[in-house]
Amino acid sequence: MKNASEIISTIQQKPQYKRILTYRCVEKLKSALLPTIQRSIKYGYIKNSILYFVISSSINKYDKDNIINTIKMILNSPMILKSDKFMECSNTDIQEVKVYTDFKPRPKYTPYATSTHKLIYKERAKGEFDIVVKDEELKKIIKDIQNIIKENNDT
């Protein structure tokens, strides 16, 4: 009887799931790079036997060459490719590695607040607290905050 990992690997070998294997291969090759370089890689893909990596503009020429040399070394070494870590890459045909720089900044992700929708929260504080401060100026500021909370709670 097969265990779950054997069943998944058997399913992945089917032609209709080839994209999953290529995605996993690209992710494994990306994981072989230095963590600082991994963070600058936006995405990677394989097209016409060429592995493409698209990176942010914050990387220099030396790091680009380092990416290409590291991946070529992994792909040219049969010992590394047959290891369990790069098993997905053994069936992919990668002849060349290219690294491109994308100068567009990553979009800032704001999950809730947009320009058309403003988040409005109901005030949960009641403004019922004792002010135990000796400084009169600070006591006045805290009293003003307390009054604002009470006004917001009444509306």
> Taking a C-beta distance cutoff of 8 angstroms, is the pair 57, 103 a contact?
yes
Residue in this structure with the two tokens 């070998």, named with its chain if needed: 13
Distance CA 49, CA 53 (A): 13
Residues whose CB falls within 8 Å of the CB of residue 122, separated by 6 or more in sequence, listed in order:
none
- 3-state DSSP assignment of residue 140: helix
Q: How does pLDDT run across 115-148, given as a tens digit for each residue?
A: 566 667 776 788 888 889 899 999 999 999 999 8
Rg, Å, the chain Cα set: 28
Identity of residue 120 = I
Gap between the Cα atoms of 150 and 154, Å rounded = 6
Cα–Cα–Cα angle for 4, 23, 101, nearest 5°?
155
What pLDDT, on the 0 to 100 scale, is given for residue 119?
Answer: 66
Residue 51 · residue 94 · CB < 8 Å: yes
- Taking the whole predicted model, whether its pTM rises above 0.75 is answered as no
Quick: pLDDT tens for 22-73: 888 888 888 888 888 888 888 899 899 888 988 887 677 777 888 888 888 8
